[in-house]
Amino acid sequence: MGTTSFLKRAQALLRIRNQLVRECLAELLAVFVLILITLSGSAQMVTSSGTKGNILTTYLAGALAIMVAVYTAGGVSGAHLNPAFSLSMCLLEQFPWWKFPIFVAVQILGAFIAAGAVYALYYDAIWHYSNGTLAASGPRETASIFATYPADYLSLTNGFLDQ
């Protein structure tokens, strides 16, 4: 009985009543989880040269990340997870324009915090793999953990259409 009443009191104290704050925290946590799991899968594959992860495990990590992120924020904020989705919802008049810049800022913040966490978690592996020289291209590049880059042959027009 004592534990239950303690938990109920703690829940009442920690409950966030402001709906916008709840939505922002849900988006922040969901984007954090999405990026953390996705980048970790990529970091595992890259820093182990494919011996402790491969393209399939990276894709599975991405699928898991989306599922967990949607379950995390879906019931609170709608799990936008991306400024492009939030913009689409505004254009379709399913989301108020005044919330758009707030959601974009929260989503970007969640992504940067997650990227920083992955860098911290894989710090030793990244530096060992790169031989102490971080590079965006070449045989020991590590930038692909955190970003995607177009192939050299991709035209500006095709890249625009792709995105």
pLDDT tens-digit series, residues 67-116: 999 999 999 999 999 999 999 999 999 999 999 999 999 999 999 999 99
Query: To which residue do tokens 């904020």 refer?
Result: 77
What is the second-level CATH architecture of the domain 16-162?
Answer: Up-down Bundle (1.20)
pLDDT at 1: 54
Domain boundaries, the chain: 16-162
pLDDT tens-digit series, residues 26-70: 999 999 999 999 999 999 999 999 899 898 999 999 999 999 999
Concatenate the DSSP letters of all residues of 35-84 into one string: HHHHHHHHHHHHHTTTSS--HHHHHHHHHHHHHHHHHHHTTTT----SHH
What's the rounded Cα separation, in Å, for the pair 50 and 54? Answer: 5
Contacts 24+ apart (CB under 8 A), 143-151: 144/42, 144/46, 145/39, 145/42, 145/43, 145/46, 145/47, 145/118, 146/39, 146/115, 146/118, 146/119
